[in-house]
Amino acid sequence: MGKSQTAAAKQEILRLLGRARGAVLGVNELARQLRMEPQQVLTLLGQLKGQVECVSKATMESRASMKWEDVDSKWRLVPQ
């Protein structure tokens, strides 16, 4: 994903969360609307620190990799 695509995806995330008007959206919902993989969306959300916040973490342990993976954490815009 190029810089302009990344910037556009971040703006779209902010637009989607803003449209939710304080409600929360899950990573999977955002990924579906953006037509991206959930892990890519999670990376972009991490880059929007200070603008968005995680309000509910949903993780599970992957037995194959022995790591915890995000299942569908919930996100919203940081209240102003």
pLDDT at residue 32, rounded to an integer: 95
Range of the domain at 31: 3-77
pLDDT at residue 74, rounded to an integer: 92
User: CA angle, corner 38, sides to 40 and 58, nearest 5?
Assistant: 125
- The mean predicted confidence, pLDDT, of the chain is 87
Cα separation values, 62 from 7, 10, 28, 69, 72, Å: 31, 28, 18, 7, 14
pLDDT at residue 35, rounded to an integer: 95
Q: What is the pTM of this model?
A: 0.81
pLDDT at residue 9, rounded to an integer: 95
Question: How many domains is the chain partitioned into structurally?
Answer: 1
Q: What is the CATH number of the domain that holds 69?
A: 1.10.10.10
The string of DSSP codes covering 59-75 is: EEEETTTTEEEES--EE
Task: Give the 3-state secondary structure of residue 23.
Answer: coil
User: Which stretches of the chain drop beneath a pLDDT of 70?
Assistant: 61-66
pLDDT at residue 57, rounded to an integer: 85
